[in-house]
Amino acid sequence: MNVIWNIASTTVGEAIRRRVLLVILLIGVLLLSIIPALGILSARSETSITIGTMYAVLRGTSALIAIVLTIYMLPNEIERRTIYTILSKPVQRWQFLVGKYLGAVLALLLMITMMTIFMVLLFWVFQHPTAEKMAEIATQPFMYWMEMSLLAAVGMFFSTFIAPLVNFFLTIGMWLVGTVLNPLYDTLSKNGNTQPLMKGIATIVTNILPNFANYDTKNPIINPGQVIVNGALYKWTTVGYTAMYVGILLLLSIVVFDRREV
């Protein structure tokens, strides 16, 4: 466990020092800071637009950080040959992989927390919400962190056997597809004209691919008055889903990485 933790903490340190990630973070923060001005787009839905757009920026920035962070994680170690130094010590490959992944997840937690604090402060300055509202707003980024943890696992899995550039597009593609799975399936299931075969394929795809739409729970936050049934249970179940899916991807990564020549 110590080994994994050491690798994870080193990975966090590396992530903080990587300029490209800091630039993405800075762009995210800059985008967040101009959002309060967009409230004028709707007289009565100012709050909805502000929060909705802030979440979209936070989610997009986090996804970009998660992808850029993970796609280079293993290839860089191999390219710089630093992996030999680590694996020559009593460190198993799976420990290295898990440590790297945990480091990425912690780095993401750090960056998402920073953006969330900035976002809530900004919201407080421009909208003067109640403490309850601010607390409510701060809950959704936790779901985004879960989402990015899954995305990081996807990126890491592909990085065990695919070059970074291809991996970038593949992972971003997986994320984009994953974010539309629930809404598309929702639409197909509500549409009476959907062919049974089409519906069957959609059911399998929705339930097999990593479903990033599960984490988009902002609707009741930006549109108050919605009644949520089993809200807490849903979030804990989603955490369980994340753990399972991350488990699948890490196990697959371990199998592939274990057989790979480095």
Partner 1 sequence: MLKDLKALYIGIVVLVCAQFGLQMGFIFPTWQKNYSVTAGGNISAQLSPDQILLQLFGFREFLAGILWVRADGFFDEGNYDAILPIIKLCTTLDPKQIDIYATGMWHIGYNFTDEQQRSDRRYIASALALGKQGSRENPETYELFFETGWMWYHKIQDDAWQPVKWFQEAHRRKDILQARKNLLSHAYMRNGQIPEAMQEYFKLFDEANISAKSATKDYSSIQIRDTLENNVDTELVRMVQRGWVAEQRHDGSFETGGYDAVPPFDTGFSCRVVVTAPRVIHFEGTWNVLPVGTRIRIVMRDMDYPGAKIAELDWDGSTIVNFEPGVDQTYMQDDLYVKNRRFNHDVDMSKDPTMYPCVSKNYLLEFYYSPRIAPPHIQDKFSWNGEGMKDKNFSNEEIRGPKEFVYDPFPMASDGDKKLAPITIKSPGQRVFYTTLTLTRDQLLKLGEWTNRTPTVSTSNYKQTETNSDTEEIIKVPTLRGK
Site residues for partner 1 per CB under 8 A: 38, 41-45, 48-49, 52-53, 55-56, 59-60, 94, 176, 179-180, 182-191, 203, 206-208, 211, 213-214, 216-220, 222-223, 225-231, 233-234, 237-238, 240-241, 244-245, 247-248, 251-252, 254-255, 258-259
In the complex, minimum distance from the CB of residue 177 to partner 1, in angstroms, rounded to a whole number: 10
Would you say 47 or 164 has its CB closer to partner 1?
Answer: 47
Would you say 72 or 245 has its CB closer to partner 1?
Answer: 245
In the complex, minimum distance from the CB of residue 119 to partner 1, in angstroms, rounded to a whole number: 14
In the complex, minimum distance from the CB of residue 20 to partner 1, in angstroms, rounded to a whole number: 23
Would you say 13 or 183 has its CB closer to partner 1?
Answer: 183
In the complex, minimum distance from the CB of residue 203 to partner 1, in angstroms, rounded to a whole number: 8
Q: Which of 62, 65, 87, 67 is nearest to 77 (CA)?
A: 87
Would you say 72 or 215 has its CB closer to partner 1?
Answer: 215
In the complex, minimum distance from the CB of residue 52 to partner 1, in angstroms, rounded to a whole number: 4
Would you say 82 or 191 has its CB closer to partner 1?
Answer: 191
